[in-house]
Amino acid sequence: MIFRQLTYVTIALLISGVLLVTVDSKIYAVNAMHREKKYANVIGWIYFSLFLLIGLAQLFYL
C-alpha cells in the first residue's frame, strides 16, 4: 500500500516540477515578474530533486 502511495507522490512531484520550471517560468518572464520566476524555478528544481530522492529510495529500498 505504501509503495503505491509513494508512486503517486513521485509522479505528482515530477509533473509539478516540470510544469513549474517550463510553463510557469515562461508566463512569469513574459509578464516581467522576475521574483516569481525565480521562486518558480527554485521550487520546481526542489520538486524535481525530491522526485529523484524518493524515486531512488523507492527503487532500492522497497
The whole domain housing 50 covers 2-61
- Three-class secondary structure of residue 25 per DSSP: helix
CB distance 18 to 48 below 8 Å: yes
Q: 8-49: per-residue pLDDT in tens? A: 999 999 999 999 999 999 999 999 999 999 999 999 999 999
Sign of CA dihedral 20, 24, 29, 35: negative
pLDDT of 56 above 90: yes
pTM: 0.88
Cβ-proximal residues to 7 (8 Å cutoff; 6+ apart), any chain: 58
Angle (deg, nearest 10), helices 2-19 and 34-61: 150
What domain count does the chain have? 1
pLDDT at 1: 76
pLDDT of 3 above 90: no
